[in-house]
Amino acid sequence: MKATSITLIAALALGGCQRGTVAGGSPEAHHGRYAGIGLYAADPLWSRMKMADKPGDESAATTADDQTIIVVVDSQTGEVRQCGNMSGYCVGMNPWAGQLGRERSTPVTLSKHLSKLGNDAAAVSNATEGVTGNAQSR
């Protein structure tokens, strides 16, 4: 009896598996090339970037006018772009464009292992939680 119940539950669970869709869309629907990752407040360093193509019109917005950074991923290339909401200036990052060097491949080289940090382990844990919390709260 128990084996039959487990088999029935497993069959029902697997029967519900299907490709995820955007609310109201069909699996075949294409919703565009770029997917949103998030919105973040523009920090002071954003306005200090040297723009590759400065606008010729003095009334055109620059990175100093941006209040929000819009982050998207290109679903075809995997490139991540950060764009200012007023200037439209974008910065791209595509780690797949070239080979990663040995120093950026796993296993990574550490100056000290977590187990050797002793009392510093709690500080590292707290610092990591603070970074994660800040990213999620934005």
Question: pLDDT tens, 83-94?
Answer: 999 999 999 988
Radius of gyration of the chain (CA): 23
Measured CA to CA, the distance from residue 91 to residue 113 in angstroms comes to 34
Average pLDDT score over the chain:
74
Which tokens in the block code for residue 4?
Answer: 């039959």
Strands 80-84 and 68-74: antiparallel
Q: Which residue has the tokens 């200036």?
A: 89
- Encode pLDDT of 13-64 as tens digits: 445 444 444 444 455 565 788 899 999 999 989 998 887 777 788 899 999 9
pLDDT score of 71 more than 80: yes
pLDDT score of 74 more than 80: yes
Spatial CB neighbours of 127, under 8 Å, sequence gap ≥ 6: none
The residue among 60, 111, 106, 114 whose CA lies nearest residue 86 is: 60
pLDDT band at 136 (very low <50, low <70, confident <90, very high): very low
Higher pLDDT, 43 or 4: 43
